[in-house]
Structure 1
Amino acid sequence: MSRRYVEKKDLETAAEWPTGIYLRLSREDGNDESYSIANQRRWLLDYIAGHEDLKLHKIYVDDGVSGTSEDERAGFRELLEDIYGGKINCVLVKDLSRPFRNSADQTRFLEETRVRYNVRFISTRLPFIDTYRHPETLNMLSIGFQGMMNENHCRETSLKVRDVFDVKRKKGQFIGAFAPYGYGKDPDDRNHLVVDPEAAEVVREIFRWYCKGLSKEGITRRLNGLGYPSPAEYKRRKGLKYQNPHDKYHSSLWTQRTVYEILRNQMYLGHMVQGKQRVRSYKVHERVSLPEEDWYVVKDTHEPVIDGETFRTVQRLLQKNTRTPPRQGELHLLSGFVFCADCQKAMHRKTSKELAYYCCRTNRQSKDGCTPHSIREQRLCGVILKAVQMQVDLTDGLAGLAEEAGRASKPDCRQDRLQALLSQGAEELEKRKGYLKSLYTDMKDGLLSRTEYLDYKSSFESEVDALQKEISRLKEEGAVCEREPARDDSRLERFKRTRQLQALDRAILAELVNKVYVHANGRVEIQFRFRDPYEQILGLEHGG
């Protein structure tokens, strides 16, 4: 229908006004019946019924949406589009607080949009406005005052709501609209999370696959290949009205971003983590990320899906700078662990005639940037495995020694315990000699270079010397303060679990190894994530 604009005196015979009714209920309105969608609809339909010149075109609704931002109000945006497209030329609302909770937006619509598109605007409550019948009402001071009152109400309400939410966050109560993937809301307590068995098992699979060396891209392809619906699609299939802000096309496929967010989410440890983002203000609803120290973290609020050790291993692997070749979903075993000892940059894995080796990336880019470094992957893996096995074996012997030392350190300990400790020290010395012989054999077999052999030999000799000095100290002191060795037991136990280790995997590397440095002469230097075992054990008796 083409528009027809008439003079006020012709109102009785005027053309019909295609009218759009706008309804909005804000979350902040709560259970106020006077503002309910049903109440607004009933009120405005009655108004149209009493005015024959108003012909309803459509009702536009925003239910449970704040009025401070047009971007979040799909109903209001649609109403504006229909105004721009000439489908409606009259807007009917119950009062000014429904379309406007911001005085600037109110002024822009009434003084600019309305005039540019010749729109009739009717507000049925005080202050009553009909820009066609009573255009002079736009000049009333009460309209501008009402706009400021609405904006002030919005500001105060926003602050109150934020305070209430912050109190709940501090208590560890979940305040999100939708539970994280792997959880659901407790039907008896909507602020408490319970495990969703079906989704939680997918989360566990993701963590297991990543620990086994599958890349984020590889995990994404596997999830999609197995037909698992994405978290957003899973929620929708459960009947939830969930919209992923990063997926406007409602895809049911997994993405690397989603996999990464799951691998990083501390909620799976059973901790409540909230307040990662804030809106800039009650007017500007743009969300900004907050530093981690400003998050609300309350531990042990719900059942964990992932154990702490697995989660920590995954975080260490995520910190590694890793890359996978196109269409290859699996990470190389040493990806992110091998570094040049001179320039400290990550070394690059290359293949030549089916042989894999690591080389210095800096030297490949510029001959003057660093000296040449290269080492075959097979040899490097062998050196690392051997070093880990020796550390595990050494830890077993020292753990028993630490237990004896802990008992010997009690105030009422006797000399026979100290003698037993010395005896064990002698046994450890013999064990070191065996290691030395083994090292020599490994050097002869080509597994270790002469430089590496000398380094390990020197290390074991230093350990023997340190043990003997510590035992002497115990004999001189006679009695020391009681100290339980439990503080470092977790690392010792993790070491012991690798006793039968025959091959490396990324989870073991992340648990035990920080970095592996390769020197220009081929010497390998392994930086473990912990102190050397003998230092760790003896530290128990020093109190540190």
Structure 2
Amino acid sequence: MVESMLIGMAEYYSAELALKVARGERENALQCKYNGGVVPLGFTIGKEDRLYHIDPETAPIVQEIFTRYADGEPAEKIAASLNERGLRTRTGKPFVKNSFFQIFRNRRYIGEYRYKDIVTPGGIPAIVDQDLFDRVQQRFEQNRIAHGRPAKEDVSYLLTTKLFCGKCGTLMGGESGTSHMGNTYYYYKCGNAKRHGKAHCDLKAIRKEPLERFVVDTAIKVIFSDEIIERLIDLVMDAQQKENTRLPVLKEQLRDTEKRLANLLEAIEQGVLTPTTKQRLDELEARKEALNTSILEEELKKPVLTREWIRFWLEKFRKGDVGSTEHQRQIIDTFVNSVYVFDDRVVLNFNFTDDAKTVTREEVLGSSAVDNAPPKQESLTSVRGFFVASSTNPRQSRTVQGSNSTAAPQAGQSKP
């Protein structure tokens, strides 16, 4: 957690710098000036005004590409023709079919300046007219539908490496299936069952989205209560003090040096002043200065987290958008140790110590979180320094009060 907070602090300063840069870029955009990136083929950037200008050497190439494609010539043939003449892309590479995709979609060629949410029609000189651009878009879209394949959806399985089968202890992995209506559904399935079939493990696959949301909702309710947040702050402050072993030693040496200096000055005040005393005074003064420098260097290496900063960082998780995949990922990566799925319940284990070891199935089975009967009320038991808390419904998980390392709420009866 300390590591994540330090990253967060670095992100804060980075974000502040980015804000200043963004402010300057926005001012440029309002004046239709160049804001970085690869300059499209056919344009040059003025060295003094930073505005887009038509390149008389390469703009005719862009016009030729648009015209030939709009007239029905295949992209492969256009690319071969340009390469035979020794022409190259903006990056100096030979033309291929894919070289034209960005060219055809680039609205700068009809004079439209665009930077994030700022769009200025006519903000830069046009290389092709609107009619030619529209004809190219129409043909490009027809070819895409006729020959293109839909892009594979990028699905993130947030519990990967943390989700285990409660029956056999094997890691569970993601898979998908399509219904007769054409809808795609995503699941987590026991790796043993995936590889060897139900004969080796008959745990049913569990839907991805409800399970991940249940884990995140439970984490928020368990970890981010006011009492647990204060306890976590205490733990982080203690861990922070223990992490830097050199700093406490330097501070202790400084205290010892200052004590010796005080004793020596007291002796001098009483009239004890010899060449040896003066030499010793100079040595102690030099040592004190060196220690102060070393302490400052150590503190600069790793800024000290305050209680207010830690509380702000934890509140960010409690008040974040739980519907955001990135927010869910941060909570799972930072706080979730492991998740065990059984036929009638789900057991969660959370990280509250610097012990990176994953809670084992044997430890989970040894706790009251997997008793045969669902608990009548919330229970709290200890598993190798981890707290295991039980609740009867994954959709109505309760806040757990604990004072040790890991909380693990249990889902009973129905799967999320």
Q: Which has the higher contact order (CA 8 A, sep 6+)?
A: 2
Report the TM-score when normalising by structure 2. 0.32
Larger gyration radius, structure 1 or structure 2: 1
